[in-house]
Amino acid sequence: MAQVYTSSVIGASAERVWAAIRDFNALPDWHPAIKESRIEGGGPADQVGCVRAFRLQDGGFIRERLLALSDYDFSCSYSILESPMGVENYVASVKLTPVTDGARCFAEWSAEFDCAQEREAELVALIGNDVFQGGFAALKARFGDA
The interaxial angle of helices 14-21 and 134-143, nearest 10 deg, is: 120
pLDDT 10s digits, 104-118: 999 999 999 999 999
User: Cα 105–37–107 angle (5° rounding)?
Assistant: 10
Taking the domains of the chain in order of start, what are their residue ranges?
2-143
Task: Please state, in angstroms and rounded to a whole number, the distance separating the CA atoms of residues 76 and 32.
Answer: 20
Is 0.85 topped by the overall pTM? yes
Low-confidence ranges of the chain (pLDDT < 50): none
Per CATH, the homologous superfamily of domain 2-143 is START domain (3.30.530.20)
